[in-house]
Amino acid sequence: RVEVLRWRVLEHEHEAIMEEAHGGIIGGHYAEDATVRKILMDGLWWDILYKNTKEYVKACDHCQCHGELGTRDEMHLRPIASAEPFEKWVIDFVGPISQPTHKNGMSYIITGTNYLTHWVEVIK
């Protein structure tokens, strides 16, 4: 049996170590398991290493912006059927328009689009 000796890291060093292991030069923004492995392979350890790393990875801005969506985060598209013209409409607000052309300075337009015919009505 081989025993591995590791340095016990002080609490004020946790953040910097997780930052380097997760997002540093050799980081790569991997999930918590890989990040914990990197820390352990460097011979470092602390009591709640896995818990801290899981929270750190979950809060990582880069991972939030560029990470893959989980299946529970997906919104399934459901087509909206319309059997008759002018039965269903979608309303959109457009603006602000940079140079209002209307004499009273209005800078938004409301549009209504019919689902079936794609007819557009504009209210200014």
Q: How does pLDDT run across 10-33, given as a tens digit for each residue?
A: 999 999 999 999 998 877 888 999
Q: Quick check: is 38 in a domain?
A: yes
Q: Residue 1 domain-assigned?
A: no
94 and 54 assigned to the same domain: no
Asked if residue 116 is part of any domain, the answer here is: yes
- The answer to the question of residue 14 being in a domain is yes
Assess if residue 79 is contained within a domain.
no
Residue 93's domain comprises: 89-123
Query: Tens of pLDDT along 54-110?
Result: 999 999 988 888 877 666 666 777 887 888 888 899 999 988 877 766 677 777 889
Instruction: Give how many domains the chain has, as a whole number.
Output: 2
Helix (H) or strand (E) holding 39: helix 32-41
Residue 101 counted as domain residue: yes
Question: Quick one: 54 and 104 in the same domain?
Answer: no
Single out the residue of 8, 22, 105 nearest to residue 56, CA to CA: 22
Residue 113 and residue 37: Cα distance in Å, rounded?
A: 54
11 and 68, same structural domain? yes
Is there a single domain that holds both residue 69 and residue 95?
A: no
Identify whether residues 94 and 39 lie together within a single domain. no
Say if residue 37 is in the same domain as residue 12. Answer: yes
5-37: buried (b, 16+ CB within 10 Å) or exposed (e) per residue? eeeebeeeebeebbebbbbeeebeebebeebbe
